Structure 1
Amino acid sequence: MATLWTGGTIYTMARIGETVEAVLEHKGKIVATGRFDRLLLQATSIKDLQGKVLYPGFVDSHLHILGYGEKLKHIDVSNVTNKEELLAIIRLRMNGVHKDAWVIAIGMNETNFDKPIFPSLAELDALGEAHLIIKRSCHHLILANSKAMAYVGITDMTPSPKGGIIDKVNGQLTGVLKDAALYMIVNHMPHITPDYIEDVLEKAIASLHSYGLVGGHSEDLSYYGPPHQPIDAFQKIVVERQSFKVHLLQHHSVFQEVFEASFHEEKSPYLEFGAMKIFVDGALGGRTAALRESYEDDAENSGMLMHSKEQLEQFVQLARLYGNTVAVHAIGDLAIDLILDVFAKYPPREGQLDRVIHCSLVDEEILGKLEKLPVAIDMQPQFVQEVYDEVLARLSEKRTKGLHPLKSLLDRGLIVAGGSDAPIEVPNPLHGIYAAVTRRNFGETHDGFGAQEKISRYQAVRLYTVGAAEIIGQQHIRGQIASGYAADFTVFEEDIFTVEVEKIPQIQVAYTVIDGRIVYARKNRNHHVKAFGKT
């Protein structure tokens, strides 16, 4: 049964402004595009877009799908504006659970508080008897109460692990754990069961569909028990239901285990295994991103490298042994510069691309290195919407000129894809497009933070379509509306390219379509499908 999609504006994303009248889909593939009258005779049904706007299916190039599902499941405190409100919300939840339960709050950002300070350990312990974890918005720092730390044996005498910090004052725990230290708790919480993983995955996929996303590149395999647990959940929820196209990065700590378990041999467009994932440094919010110069507001601190150069070289060589690429979390300029030197020493195979995720702080030297290497860049445009006063305090105005580049990368011909890093940001691609085009927060009117890095609407949409396909070498089958490509579509009520710029974040998703199947439709909408016999 061949279905003709028509009756609206259909952007191919092959070139600026290029549209077609109709798209003919059969068995999940686009078999032809062009004029309505020429394709009509080949169709057995019509899906009338009723004036809506169809794009290639949007893909989030970097997020943590299970982590996003957890944010939907647990306490979202991302909009809390003071410590007292935070404590009140958590106390209410703590009062209603068993003393052996785990209470988890996600998204705290103390820089939004009237007084930017963390609750003390004593304040956390006073909230109730259950185990408590509060994840900072960057997810590179958590607060834990004494019961949660005791569960994994963290005491005043416990040394900080390599690549992490167990914060102490006068030798006593504060409840603050940074980077590798937080995984001492997060990776060992007893409620991470197969049922739990499936539940958060279902919640995440349903939400991602509602934002028009047909797929995502995710990193989830080292936080939810042995890697077969999350993989089994993806097989059950995503592959069997053919509900989402997941490209899984593999944390270096489980990379070899995943390969040797032969998960890669089970080929499916709904679950692919991608690059080895390595965290090179931390985040700017917790002052753990590795910088060449110290933080402006912390002269004794220049951040933290998670691994030595020798260790990074060993990880990269292991990936190369298996013929694989590498994707690195690198935010600070020192971290980016270091890993680029490693990539230059141990390049991937001909035609392969490594990827730098975030690439948040650059200068001309780093841009020059990027231009010469087989690397693609995984950007999160919404990061520019952070509290900029905080960033200025961290880096100084001079250094922020190289913060969250976009135009500089595209001007050098680099492949760039767009993501949200959900649960860090809301995985709405329209928010990312708005941020890329305006470089400002919603409702603001200034010219933008680092306005020289603003890009066009076409370039911004391309991050989530063509760019998301290019970064995984699938630009020949995904990311455009063309014959032979997957029939993955994101259909909006309004045109991103012509609507008033301030309205971009409010555009509604009409349909999300995967392989020709509508997996999400706005409530109370008629799909306007007409079936008929051939003439």
Structure 2
Amino acid sequence: MAILWTGGTIYTMARDGETVEAVLEHNGKIVATGEVDRLLPQATSIRDLKGNVMYPGFVDSHLHIIGYGEKLKHIDVSNVQSKDELLTLVRTRMEGVHPDEWVIAIGLNETQFAEPVFPTLEELDSLGEAHLIIKRSCHHLILANSKALEFAGITDATLSPEGGIIEKVNGRVTGVLKDTALYLIVNHMPHITPAYIEDALDKAIESLQTYGLVGGHSEDLSYYGPPHQPIAAFRKIVEEKKFFKVHLLQHHTVFQEVDDARLNEEQSPYLEFGAMKIFVDGAFGGRTAALKEPYSDDIENSGMLVHTKAKLEDLVHLARAHDQTVAVHAIGDLALATILDVFEKYPPGEGQLDRVIHCSLVDEEILAKLASLPVAVDMQPQFVQGEYSAEIARLGKKRAKGLHPLKSLLDRGLIVAGGSDAPIEVPNPLHGIYAAVTRRNFGETHDGYGAQEKISRFEAVRLYTVGAAEIIGQQHMRGLIAPGYTADFTVFTEDLFEVAIEALPCVDVAYTIIDGRIVYKKKSL
């Protein structure tokens, strides 16, 4: 049965401003595009867009789908404005909770406080008897109460693991764990059961569809027990329902296990396995992003590399032995310079692209190196919002000119995709598009943080359509509205290229369509 989609504005995203009157779709593929009169004789039914505006299906190029579902299940503290408000919110949740249970809060951003300080371990312990962890918004730092520390066997005598920090003051643990140190707790919490994972995944995808997302590139395989557990959840929730398209990165700690058990052999349009994921450094929030020069507000600290350069070479070599590309979390300029040297030494196979996720602090040397290598960049435009002022304090104004580049990357011809890193940011692509175009927070009126890196609306929408397809080598079948491409569409109630810029983040999704099937519909339609 051939369906003709028409009755609204349809942007192909092949060229700026290019539209077509209608799209003919059959069995989940686009058969033809063009004028209604020419295509109508081939159609067996018509889907009226009712004046709404269609784009290729939007894809979040970097997020943690199960982690986002966890944020929906637990306490969201991302809008908390003071330490006292945080403590009150958590104390209320912990009242009446059994001492064996776990209370989890997600999204703490202390830079929003008038006095940007974390609660002390004593304050955390006073909130209740259950296990407690509070995840900072960057997810590279957690606060844990004494009961959670005891669960993981962390004492004043415990040494920090490689690539992580167990923070201590005067030899006493503070409850602050950074980078790999936090995995001592979060990867082993007993409530991470198959049912828990499936519930989080289901909640996440239902939410993502409301934002117009038809798919996402996710990294979840090392945080929820053995990798077969999250993979089984994805197969059950995603493949069986066929209502979302997931591209899974494979964390290096489980890469060999997944391959040996052949857990990644069965692939489909709804669940496919991609690059080896490696963390090269931490984040600005906890001052663990690896910098060439010390932090401006902590001159004895230059951050840290999670792995030595030799270890990074070993991991990349392992990926190459499996004919696989590599996707790296790299935020600081030292982290980027280090991994780009490794990529240069061990290039991917012909036609393949490695992937730099975040690429948050660059200089001219790094930009030139990126442009010279088979590397694509996975950006999170919303990172320019929120903590930008705190990042300037950490880096200084001169160095901060290289923060969160977008235009510089596009001007050098690099493939760039857009993601949210949810649950760190809200996975609404319109928030990312607004941030990429304005480089300011909602409601602000200035010219933008690092205004020289602003991009056009067309370029910003391409990050979530064309770019998201290019970064995984699927530009021949996804990301455009064109014959031969998948019939994945995101339909908005207003034109993203015409609506007032301040109204853009609030535009409603009319339909989310996967393989020609409506998986989300606005209630009023």
TM range (shorter): over 0.9
The residue aligned with 1:530 is: none
Q: Measure how far apart 1:44 and its partner are.
A: 1.1
Structure 1: 5+ residue runs without aligned partners?
A: 526-535
1:98 equivalent to 2:98? Answer yes
1:172-206 deviation line (CA, Å, top 9, x unaligned): 11000000000000000000000000000000000
The residue aligned with 2:240 is: 240
The residue aligned with 1:435 is: 435
CA contact (8 A) 2:75 2:104 kept: yes
1:144 equivalent to 2:129? Answer no
The residue aligned with 1:422 is: 422
Letter of the 2:151 partner, please give it. Answer: Y
1:362-397 deviation line (CA, Å, top 9, x unaligned): 010000000100000000000000233211110000
Find the aligned partners of 1:420 and 1:378 in 2 and give their Cα distance: 10
Q: TM-score, normalised by structure 1?
A: 0.98
The residue aligned with 2:284 is: 284
The residue aligned with 2:87 is: 87
Find the aligned partners of 1:450 and 1:190 in 2 and give their Cα distance: 44
The residue aligned with 2:488 is: 488
1:410 equivalent to 2:410? Answer yes
1:231-259 deviation line (CA, Å, top 9, x unaligned): 00000000010010000000000001111
CA contact (8 A) 2:63 2:421 kept: yes
Find the aligned partners of 2:262 and 2:244 in 1 and give their Cα distance: 22
The residue aligned with 2:358 is: 358
The residue aligned with 1:377 is: 377
Q: Measure how far apart 1:524 and its partner are.
A: 2.8
The residue aligned with 2:507 is: 507
Q: Measure how far apart 1:34 and its partner are.
A: 0.6
Find the aligned partners of 2:386 and 2:90 in 1 and give their Cα distance: 24
**Paired residue secondary structure (1:135):** strand
The residue aligned with 1:252 is: 252
CA contact (8 A) 2:294 2:302 kept: yes
The residue aligned with 1:213 is: 213
1:470 equivalent to 2:466? Answer no
**Paired residue secondary structure (1:67):** helix
Find the aligned partners of 1:372 and 1:391 in 2 and give their Cα distance: 28
1:446 equivalent to 2:446? Answer yes
The residue aligned with 1:517 is: 517
Find the aligned partners of 2:213 and 2:392 in 1 and give their Cα distance: 33
1:102-159 deviation line (CA, Å, top 9, x unaligned): 0000000111012111000000001000000000000000000000010111011100
CA contact (8 A) 2:78 2:106 kept: yes
Alignment of 1:71-86 (within 5 A): 71-86=71-86
Find the aligned partners of 1:496 and 1:267 in 2 and give their Cα distance: 34
The residue aligned with 1:129 is: 129
Q: Measure how far apart 1:97 and its partner are.
A: 1.2
CA contact (8 A) 2:267 2:273 kept: no
The residue aligned with 1:58 is: 58
Q: Measure how far apart 1:96 and its partner are.
A: 2.6
Find the aligned partners of 1:386 and 1:85 in 2 and give their Cα distance: 19
Q: Measure how far apart 1:356 and its partner are.
A: 0.2
Letter of the 2:483 partner, please give it. Answer: S
Find the aligned partners of 1:207 and 1:456 in 2 and give their Cα distance: 27
Q: Measure how far apart 1:45 and its partner are.
A: 1.0
Find the aligned partners of 1:524 and 1:77 in 2 and give their Cα distance: 31
**Paired residue secondary structure (1:173):** strand
**Paired residue secondary structure (2:188):** coil
1:479 equivalent to 2:473? Answer no
CA-based RMSD of the aligned residues comes to 0.6
Find the aligned partners of 1:161 and 1:266 in 2 and give their Cα distance: 35
The residue aligned with 1:195 is: 195
- Please say which of residues 389-398 and 376-385 is displaced more in the overlay: 389-398
1:288-308 deviation line (CA, Å, top 9, x unaligned): 000000000001000010000
**Paired residue secondary structure (1:263):** coil
Letter of the 1:90 partner, please give it. Answer: V
Alignment of 1:27-38 (within 5 A): 27-38=27-38
Find the aligned partners of 1:110 and 1:466 in 2 and give their Cα distance: 36
1:463-486 deviation line (CA, Å, top 9, x unaligned): 000000000000000000001100
Structure 2: 5+ residue runs without aligned partners?
A: none
CA contact (8 A) 2:59 2:216 kept: yes
Alignment of 1:293-308 (within 5 A): 293-308=293-308
The residue aligned with 2:318 is: 318
Q: Measure how far apart 1:333 and its partner are.
A: 0.1
- Please say which of residues 252-261 and 418-427 is displaced more in the overlay: 252-261
**Paired residue secondary structure (2:285):** coil
CA contact (8 A) 2:80 2:86 kept: yes
User: Which 4+ residue blocks in structure 1 deviate beyond 6 angstroms?
Assistant: none
Percent identity of the aligned residues? 78
CA contact (8 A) 2:278 2:326 kept: yes
Find the aligned partners of 1:209 and 1:316 in 2 and give their Cα distance: 34
Letter of the 1:458 partner, please give it. Answer: F
- When the two structures are aligned, how many residues end up with a matched partner? 525
Find the aligned partners of 1:457 and 1:261 in 2 and give their Cα distance: 44
Find the aligned partners of 1:260 and 1:324 in 2 and give their Cα distance: 14
Find the aligned partners of 1:26 and 1:476 in 2 and give their Cα distance: 18
The residue aligned with 1:159 is: 159
